[in-house]
Structure 1
Amino acid sequence: MKLLITGDKTRFYHLEGFMNALQKNGIKCKLIYDIEYSNKFFDINIKNRLGKQKKLKKLLDEFGPDVVLLDRLSGIATEITKAGIPFFILLRGNIWEELKWAKETIYTSPQKRLSFLKKQRFIKTCFNNASVILPISKYLENVVRKNIPEKNIELFSADGRDPSEWNQVSGMNLKHPCVGLLQGMNIWGKTRELLILTKVMKELPGVTFYFAGDGFYKDKIIPKLKNFKNFVWLGNLEYPIEVKKFLSEIDVYLLLSGMEGLGQTIIEAFLMEKPVIATNIGGIPELIEDGKTGFLIEAGNHDDLIKKINQVFDQPVVASNMGSKGKETMQENFNWDSIAKKLVLILNRNVQ
C-alpha cells in the first residue's frame, strides 16, 4: 500500500519518524509540505494555483498513492478529492472550539468575517469529503462524533516519539527550584489560562518560572508575567535540541491550557522523567494518571496549583517516581512502532 502524507514543515521532524516506522511495517510512504502543492485555504492568484495543481498532479501520477493522510487541513484536500483518491484527516485539536474563539477574537471586522465564513465552509467541505477522521484522543473522538456523527471516525493517538532520542542533555543553566512551561500562545481560549500564574508566582517567590513559547497573544500575557522577578521568558526554543536541554534542566513541567487535544509536550516531559502538573482539560487526563504520574488541576484553581507545586518540591522521591512512571507509560504507548502498527490496522480496514 502507498500512503502520501501531507503537512506543515514544522512537524516534519515527527512525521519523518512516523513515516520510517510505517515503511518498516510494509507501507510505502512519501511526505510532502502541503503548501508547496496547494495553498492552505484559498489562492486568488490563478497562475500560482494552476502551477501548484500541475505539480501535485505530476506527483500523484508518479507516486500513485492509494490513500492520503492530511496532518492538517489545507487546500490540498480539494485537489485530492478531484483526483478521486481517498484521504484521512488527522485531527489534533478541537477545531470547532478553535473556530469559535477565532471568530470572537480575530475575525471581528466585516471583511475578516467574510474570510471566516469562507474558511468555515472550506473546513466543512474537507470533513464531508474525507474517508476517515482520525482524532488523536478520546476527548476529540467524542467532539467529532458530536459535530459530524455521520462520518467514519477512528481513534488514533498519533503523537509518537522515539524514546531513545529523549535523554538528558546538558547545556542550559536554570535557577532552582524551578517550574518549566513550554507552549504556544495563538488561541485565546487556550492561552488565557496562563494568567493564573500571576497569583501563583506571588505566593511562590522562591520558585522561578521559566516560560518557553511565543504566539499571537504574547503581548496580552508576557508583560503581565514579567512584573514578577521570579518569571523568565525564554521565547521560542530551537526544536528539538534546545527543548531537550530545557526539559532536562527544569524540576517540574507545567502545562496551563484552556483547551488541549492531547498535550504532546507532556509526552516529551515524561520521556525526560519529569513530574507533570497540568490543567484537567481536553485530552490531558488521557496522558496523566492523577497522583501517580503527575497532578491534574482544575482550570483557574491557582490555590490547588500552588499546593501541587509545593507538594512536588516537598516530596522529591515521590516526584522522581512520578517522572519514572510517566516515562514508562509514554515508552509503551507512544513509540513510533506501536503507533505505526495501529495505523496499518486502520488502513487495512478502510482502504480497498
Structure 2
Amino acid sequence: MKRLLIGGSSSKLFHLKEFADSLENLGVECKVVFDAQIYDGFPSRKIKNWFQTRSKFNKLIDEFKPDAIFVDRQRHFGLASAKTRIPLIVHLRGDYWKEMKMAKETLYKSPPKRLALWKWDQIGERCFQSANLILPICGHLENITKEHYPTKNVATLYQGITPSRWYHAEGMSLNHPCVGLLQGAVIFEKAKEMLILENVLKAFPHITFYWVGDGPYREYVLSALKKHENFKWLGPLQYPDKVREYLSEIDIYALVTGIDMSPLTLLEAQLMEKPVVATNVGGVPEIMKDGETGFLVEKGNSQQLIDKITILLEDAKKAKEMGRAGKKFVTDNFSWEIIGKKFLEITKKHLSL
C-alpha cells in the first residue's frame, strides 16, 4: 500500500492523525479528512449538507489516488467510497447493532428522530455490506461482527496510543485520597452502571470521587450522585493537556461502565502509571491485565468495586507496582508503531495491498 485515505469525525481526527503518522513512518502516504466536510447528506444536523454533491469527494479521489480508503465511522463518506473501485476498510469502534437498539429505546423515540435513526442504520449497513475489510477495535467486537457478517474479512485492530504524550503534568489540584473517572455519558447502558457508585460513595465518605465527562445522560447520573459530598463532577476537559493534568493528579483510575469495547482512557490512565479498577465488560479485559495492572470487577457489583479500591488505598506498594506494570503493558502492546505494523499485516493478508 502506497497511499491511504482516512475519513472520520471531527472528535477522532486527533487520534486518526496519530494513526496516519505511524503509517507515514512505515512508508505509507496518508491523508486524513473530516468526512462530513467532504461528503454528507440527510439526516445530517446541518440541513444545508443534505444537498451536497460528491464533487469534493470525487476531486479528492482524483487528486490523491488512494490505494485504499479507511473510514472510522459509517456515514455518507463511506457510501461514496463504496461507489469507487477502491478497497473500503471500515473501522468499528463500538457494538453498532446493540447501540442502535439502545438508541431506539432511549433517545430516538420521537417520529423525526426515529426517521433519522432509520436512515443512519440504512447507511451503516450499506457501509458494512460494501466493505472489503471490517476492523473491530477489540477481539470481543470481532466475534460480534462475525455473527452479523460471517463471510466478510474481519480482523481486530486495537486503538493505538503514543506513550510519549502521557507524562506527569502539574496544573490541577484535587483532594486526596481520590478516585478519578474519565468517561462519557453518551450511551445509556454505559452511563447506567455509574449508579452503583452510590454504595461506593457511602462506603468511602472521606475519599473524593471525581468524574470528568459529559453527554445526554449527564443529568441522569448527577441526579443520583451529586447529593453525595464526596462526589465531584468536573465536566469535560480539554484534550489532551487538561486530561493529562487530571490523570497526573488522581490516585486511582476507575472505569465504571455497562458496555465498552476499547476505552482509550483506560490506556491513558495506565500510561500515567495509575492503578486501574474497571468493569469486566466487552473488550475491557483485553487492554488491561487483571491482578497485574489493576483489577476487574463484575458488572453491577458495588461490593467488588469497594473491595478493590480498598486494596489499592491500603497497599501503596501494590498500587505503585500496578501503575508501573500498566505503563509497560500499554507501551509494549498498543503503541502506534505496533498498531501501524499490525494494520499493514492485516491489509496485506486480506486485501493483498
Q: Please, what TM-score do these two structures have when normalized by structure 2? A: 0.96
For residues 37-48 of structure 1, the aligned pairs below 5 Å read: 37-39=38-40, 42=43, 48=49
Q: Which residue of structure 2 aligns with residue 67 of structure 1?
A: 68
Going from structure 1 to structure 2, the CA distance change for 1:100 and 1:351 (only over 3 Å counts) comes to same
The one-character-per-residue Cα deviations of 1:123-180 (angstroms, maximum 9, x if unpaired) are: 11110001100011110011101121121101111x1111111110011000000000
Question: For 1:287 and 1:133, how far apart are their aligned partners in 2?
Answer: 20
Distance 1:231 1:244 in 2: 21
1:277 aligns with 2:277: yes
- Indicate yes or no: 2:160 matched with 1:160: yes
1:214-256 Cα distance to aligned partner (Å, 9 max, x none): 0011111113211000011100000000000000000000001
Contact 2:75–2:120, Cα closer than 8 Å, also in 1: no
Identity %: 43
Distance 1:347 1:28 in 2: 15
**For 1:21 and 1:243, how far apart are their aligned partners in 2?**
23
For 1:31 and 1:168, the matched residues in 2 are separated by 29
Aligned residue pairs: how many?
Answer: 351
> Which amino acid in the other structure matches residue 300 of structure 2?
G
**Counterpart position of 1:211:** 211
Map 1:51-200; keep pairs closer than 5 Å.
51-157=52-158, 159-200=159-200
The more displaced of 160-169 and 209-218 is 160-169
Report the equivalent of 1:336: 336
Contact in 2 for aligned 1:3/1:29 (Cα 8 Å): yes
SS in 1 for 2:219: helix
Q: Name the CA shift for 1:209/1:149 in 2 (closer, same or farther; >3 Å).
A: same
Question: Is residue 38–residue 49 contact of structure 1 (8 Å, CA) maintained in 2?
Answer: no
SS at match of 1:89: strand
Q: Which moved more, 1:67-76 or 1:78-87?
A: 78-87
1:233-248 to structure 2, matched below 5 A, reads 233-248=233-248
Task: Provide closer, same or farther for how the CA distance between residues 167 and 60 of structure 1 changes in structure 2, counting only shifts above 3 A.
Answer: same
CA distance in 2, matches of 1:71, 1:191: 23
CA RMSD of aligned residues (A): 1.7
Pairwise CA distance, 1:192? 0.3
- Maintained 8 Å contact 1:42/1:75: no
Once residues 49 and 271 of structure 2 are traced to their aligned partners in structure 1, the CA distance between those partners, rounded to angstroms, is 43
Report if the CA contact (8 A) 1:36-1:52 is conserved.
no
Query: C-alpha separation between the residues in 2 aligned to 1:147 and 1:124?
Result: 10
- Structure 2 letter corresponding to 1:195: L
Q: Is the 8 A contact 1:186 1:215 kept in 2?
A: yes
Displacement, 1:17? 1.5
Q: Would you say the 8 A contact 1:181–1:212 is kept in 2?
A: yes
Output the TM-score relative to the length of structure 1: 0.96
Report the 3-state secondary structure (helix = DSSP H, G, I; strand = E; otherwise coil) of the residue aligned with 2:157: coil
Contact 1:34–1:40 (8 Å) recurs in 2: no
Gaps of 5+ in 1: none
Question: Unpaired segments of 5 or more residues in structure 2?
Answer: none
Structure 1 runs, 4 residues or longer, greater than 6 Å off = 44-47
Moved more, 325-334 or 100-109: 100-109
- Cα deviation per residue 1:273-320 (whole Å; 9 max; x = unaligned)? 000000000000112221111000011101111111111000010011
Q: Is the 8 A contact 1:41 1:122 kept in 2?
A: no
Deviation, structure 1 residue 51:
4.5
| Counterparts in 2 of 1:43 and 1:9: CA distance versus 1, 3 Å | closer
